[in-house]
Copies of this chain bind each other. A is one copy, B any other.
Amino acid sequence: MKKEKRIKAVFFDIDNCLYDTSLQAERARKNAIKAMINAGLAVDEKKAYALLTKIVRKYGSNYGYHFDRLLEALGFERNPRIIAAGIVGYHTTKLAYLVPFPDTVPTLLQLRDMGYKLGIITNGLAIKQWEKLIRLGLQHFFHSVIISEEVGCEKPERKIFEIAAKSLAENPEKCVMVGDRLDIDIEGAKKAGMVTIQIVRSKKRAKKPKNEFQEPDFIIGNLKELVDVLNSLQ
């Protein structure tokens, strides 16, 4: 009789795990500023970018009026033409960078071939997160997609990881969580009993664990390395 696999399901974070969210956000904001300057905003590009970054941090990324607040902060009146130019520059660029990492699709396909069930555990607005998966071309890859808005709890709460495991009829111990954030992805998943794998795409962005639950079981530099880690776990 074939021995049953120890690990049955692999869960992923979306942002900075399946695609380069940080690069996308930076480029989109920079192009928004350029477009606003082209539409008549008399401002230094670098200064405006720094201010916009602050505003996004203050109001959160799902807020709808970043450019209104930017004009205010710069001491200008509300100007629909300039705000619209910012929106166009931002969204055009956002779409251009909404593409998977080169190893994302090949690895997901390989994991499916190996018999793993695949899932997503992500914080955010359900429609917005689904929009990302659809534009990334990933909407059909996952057996379960768990989004905080829909389940009423969010990472790092252990509950969302338990809900995710249950959605694939598995115990957390038979699940792996792959994500970039120690305080969001790793801490919660470890508390729930999952095997935790931190993906560090950029060493610049890597942070240090602040408690034992933030210490990942494994660290990988890209998704391809996930296959070896999973093989070592069986």
Do A88 and B150 have beta carbons less than 8 Å apart? no
Q: How far is the CA of A41 from the CA of B81 in the complex (A)?
A: 38
Do B127 and A39 have beta carbons less than 8 Å apart? no
Q: Is A195 an interface residue (CB 8 A)?
A: no
Q: Is A85 an interface residue (CB 8 A)?
A: yes
Q: Is A194 an interface residue (CB 8 A)?
A: no
Do A80 and B130 have beta carbons less than 8 Å apart? yes
Q: How far is the CA of A83 from the CA of B127 in the complex (A)?
A: 7
Question: Taking CB as reference atom, which chain B residue is nearest A149?
Answer: B80
Question: Taking CB as reference atom, which chain B residue is nearest A132?
Answer: B84
Q: How far is the CA of A84 from the CA of B149 in the complex (A)?
A: 14
Question: Taking CB as reference atom, which chain B residue is nearest A88?
Answer: B134
Q: How far is the CA of A111 from the CA of B83 in the complex (A)?
A: 28
Of A35, A128, A131, most buried by chain B (CB within 10 Å of CB) is A131
Q: How far is the CA of A130 from the CA of B133 in the complex (A)?
A: 29
Q: How far is the CA of A120 from the CA of B52 in the complex (A)?
A: 31
Q: Is A135 an interface residue (CB 8 A)?
A: yes
0/1 interface trace, chain A 149-176, chain B, CB 8 Å (1 if under): 1100000000000000000000000000
Q: Is A61 an interface residue (CB 8 A)?
A: no
Do A135 and B83 have beta carbons less than 8 Å apart? no
Question: Taking CB as reference atom, which chain B residue is nearest A89?
Answer: B134
Given A39-B139, A139-B39, also A84-B134 (CB < 8 A): yes
Question: Taking CB as reference atom, which chain B residue is nearest A83?
Answer: B127
Q: Is A126 an interface residue (CB 8 A)?
A: yes
> A130's contact among B84, B131, B145, B150, by CB below 8 Å, is which?
B84
Do B85 and A139 have beta carbons less than 8 Å apart? yes
Do A81 and B39 have beta carbons less than 8 Å apart? no
Q: Is A199 an interface residue (CB 8 A)?
A: no
Chosen A-B contacts, 8 in total, with CB atoms closer than 8 Å, are A80-B127, A80-B149, A81-B145, A84-B126, A84-B128, A85-B139, A88-B131, A88-B135
